[in-house]
């Protein structure tokens, strides 16, 4: 341990720019039912008109709208009922002026018909005679051919996440197999002589391997596949062998532990010994999370995360997750869209200039507003993470934020 060893810190913005120099994962083709939450690796263009026929969107009678023009409760029209449209079948008869055909929601409009009269606006006097007492506009209660999507239209974009509605569109087009990006594989290594597996009762001065579980969960919830490689002791051979193994099978490696200057140096040394290794970042101007390392080995990203569980989680949310989304192929305009909410700060927050401060907050609703209530407590405490709903950033150029400021909250 060298006294007063300060490392040169990189700004958060610069770190995020560096993460953009890593390549995206490869592609695969999956059966549609496995595609929820996956990222499309190609634009999807419609090969059909949707719907493919003019469809009724209400129960009622298919008519020519002009047969009803000018009618009212006091001056109704009388139309001849000439048949019924059966679901899933082509209409048996056309609709001429002065005629009506029974139709249900989803039924195909017969030739000649251009409008649907709702049940509520008509009354069958007998099997063959319909009284209509409200005029129907052309295309009323009708979904036209191609109104949802036109043949040849681009409907979904490369880089977008497949939500339930995108699943629906893909199903409607008959896309039984869909080209998506592979899920990034993230290997997780815990390091430190004081760390023991969770099933073991820690001796005095020892700690259970908490980061293995928090980080694996964060990876999974961010769309990655996590692979836990175990605990490396604080010796070069042990950590080097796990890291080499990790780089070989993953798109990204997370090494937690080594927050102290000594073990950080040690982790750095191990990373430098990996194939084609390059240290990109050694220290970031954020709090908590300053002692973070980002390196590259054979196009794979290697993160050295703080050993303190809460700090490691903050670094994950602020830097690792955005990078994971980047290598997963998520298009930039969508990235982060679903895990940030806006709120109003409930009290003043002081901050140190020259670093981005991340403050844990609880979201509290009062009437129609959401307030971000800072949770106090040391950065190493996991209890503050449990109480929190998210993080608020205080910019490095700010001395703090005053009560009432609108803020963005990164949700946990």
Near a copy of itself in 62-81, by CB under 8 A:
none
**Member of 70, 126, 127, 201 binding a copy of itself (CB under 8 A):** 201
Residue 36 interacts with a copy of itself (CB under 8 A): yes or no: yes
At 241 the three-state DSSP class reads helix
With beta carbons less than 8 A apart as the criterion, state whether 85 and 103 touch: yes
**HSE (side-chain half, CA atoms, 13 Å) at 348:** 4
Residue 307 interacts with a copy of itself (CB under 8 A): yes or no: yes
**Member of 14, 45, 92, 221 binding a copy of itself (CB under 8 A):** 221
Rounded Cα distance, 153 and 128, in Å: 43
Q: Closest approach of Cβ 75 to a copy of itself, in Å? A: 19
Smaller CB separation from a copy of itself, 337 or 402: 337
Q: Closest approach of Cβ 78 to a copy of itself, in Å? A: 14
Q: Closest approach of Cβ 303 to a copy of itself, in Å? A: 16
Supply the DSSP string of 48-95, one letter for each residue.
Answer: S-BSSS-EESSSEEEE-GGGGTT--SSS-EEEEEEEEPPTTS--SS--
**Member of 75, 127, 164, 366 binding a copy of itself (CB under 8 A):** 164
Q: Closest approach of Cβ 339 to a copy of itself, in Å? A: 9
Longest dimension (CA), the chain: 99
Residue 5 interacts with a copy of itself (CB under 8 A): yes or no: yes
**Member of 59, 238, 373, 395 binding a copy of itself (CB under 8 A):** 59
Number of residues that bind a copy of itself (CB under 8 A): 114
**Positions 131 through 160 that interact with a copy of itself (CB under 8 A):** 143, 147-149, 155-156
Smallest CA-to-CA distance from 256 within 222, 292, 225 is with: 292
Smaller CB separation from a copy of itself, 18 or 370: 370
Residue with token string 């940030």: 340
Q: Closest approach of Cβ 97 to a copy of itself, in Å? A: 22
State the sign of the Cα–Cα–Cα–Cα dihedral 109, 115, 120, 122: negative
Strand order in the sheet with 225-232: 225-232, 185-191, 252-256, 300-305, 293-297, 277-282
Residue 176 interacts with a copy of itself (CB under 8 A): yes or no: yes
Rounded Cα distance, 329 and 318, in Å: 18
Residue 408 interacts with a copy of itself (CB under 8 A): yes or no: yes
Q: Are strands 300-305 and 349-350 parallel, antiparallel or unpaired?
A: unpaired
Rounded Cα distance, 400 and 412, in Å: 22
Q: Closest approach of Cβ 280 to a copy of itself, in Å? A: 23
Smaller CB separation from a copy of itself, 102 or 355: 102
Smaller CB separation from a copy of itself, 38 or 300: 38
**Member of 76, 192, 224, 374 binding a copy of itself (CB under 8 A):** 192
**Member of 66, 93, 98, 213 binding a copy of itself (CB under 8 A):** 213
Residue with token string 């008959």: 174
Smaller CB separation from a copy of itself, 32 or 279: 32
**Member of 204, 366, 376, 402 binding a copy of itself (CB under 8 A):** 204
**Positions 240 through 299 that interact with a copy of itself (CB under 8 A):** 259-263
Residue 343 interacts with a copy of itself (CB under 8 A): yes or no: yes
At 259 the three-state DSSP class reads coil
Task: Pick the stretch among 10-18, 243-251, 295-303, 403-411 that binds a copy of itself (CB under 8 A).
Answer: 403-411
At 406 the three-state DSSP class reads strand
Residue 225 interacts with a copy of itself (CB under 8 A): yes or no: no
**Member of 26, 72, 348, 383 binding a copy of itself (CB under 8 A):** 383
DSSP state of 209: -
Residue 184 interacts with a copy of itself (CB under 8 A): yes or no: no
Residue 120 interacts with a copy of itself (CB under 8 A): yes or no: yes
How many CB atoms are closer than 10 A to CB 237? 10
Q: Closest approach of Cβ 203 to a copy of itself, in Å? A: 8
**Member of 114, 209, 251, 357 binding a copy of itself (CB under 8 A):** 209
Smallest CA-to-CA distance from 393 within 4, 16, 5 is with: 16
Residue 338 interacts with a copy of itself (CB under 8 A): yes or no: yes
Supply the DSSP string of 285-344, one letter for each residue.
Answer: SEES--S-EEEEETTEEEEEE-SSHHHHHHHIIIIIHHHHHHHTT--TTTTTTTSEEEEE
């Amino acid at each position: 341990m060298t006294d007063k060893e300060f490392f040169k810190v990189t700004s958060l913005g610069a770190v995020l720019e560096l993460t953009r120099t890593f390549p995206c994962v490869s592609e695969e083709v999956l059966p549609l039912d496995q595609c929820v939450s996956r990222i499309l690796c190609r634009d999807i263009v419609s090969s059909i008109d949707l719907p493919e026929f003019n469809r009724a969107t209400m129960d009622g009678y298919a008519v020519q709208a002009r047969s009803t023009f000018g009618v009212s409760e006091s001056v109704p029209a009388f139309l001849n009922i000439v048949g019924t449209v059966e679901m899933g079948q082509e209409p048996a008869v056309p609709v001429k002026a002065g005629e009506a055909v029974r139709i249900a929601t989803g039924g195909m409009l017969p030739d000649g018909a251009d409008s649907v009269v709702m049940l509520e606006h008509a009354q069958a006097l007998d099997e063959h005679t319909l009284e209509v007492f409200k005029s129907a506009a052309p295309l009323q209660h009708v979904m036209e051919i191609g109104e949802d999507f036109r043949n040849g239209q681009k409907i979904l974009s490369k880089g977008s996440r497949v939500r339930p509605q995108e699943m629906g569109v893909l199903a409607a087009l008959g896309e039984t197999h869909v080209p998506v990006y592979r899920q990034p594989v993230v290997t997780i290594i815990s390091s430190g002589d004081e760390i023991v597996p969770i099933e073991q009762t820690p001796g005095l001065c020892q700690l259970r391997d908490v980061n293995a579980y928090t980080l694996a969960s964060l990876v999974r919830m961010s769309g990655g596949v996590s692979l836990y490689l175990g605990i490396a002791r604080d010796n070069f051979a042990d950590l080097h062998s796990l890291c080499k193994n990790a780089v070989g099978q993953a798109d990204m490696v997370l090494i937690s532990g080594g927050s102290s200057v000594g073990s950080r140096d040690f982790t750095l040394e191990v990373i430098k010994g990996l194939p084609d290794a390059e240290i990109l970042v050694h220290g970031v101007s954020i709090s908590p999370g300053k002692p973070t390392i980002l390196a590259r080995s054979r196009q794979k990203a290697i993160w050295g995360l703080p050993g303190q569980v809460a700090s490691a989680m903050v670094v994950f949310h602020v830097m690792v997750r955005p990078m994971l989304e980047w290598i997963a192929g998520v298009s930039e305009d969508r990235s982060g869209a679903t895990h940030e909410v806006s709120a109003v700060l409930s009290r003043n927050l002081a901050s140190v200039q020259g670093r981005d401060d991340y403050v844990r907050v609880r979201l509290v609703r009062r009437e129609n507003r959401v307030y971000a209530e800072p949770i106090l407590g040391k950065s190493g405490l996991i209890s503050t993470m449990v109480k929190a709903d998210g993080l608020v950033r205080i910019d490095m150029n700010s001395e703090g934020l005053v009560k009432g400021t609108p803020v963005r909250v990164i949700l946990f």
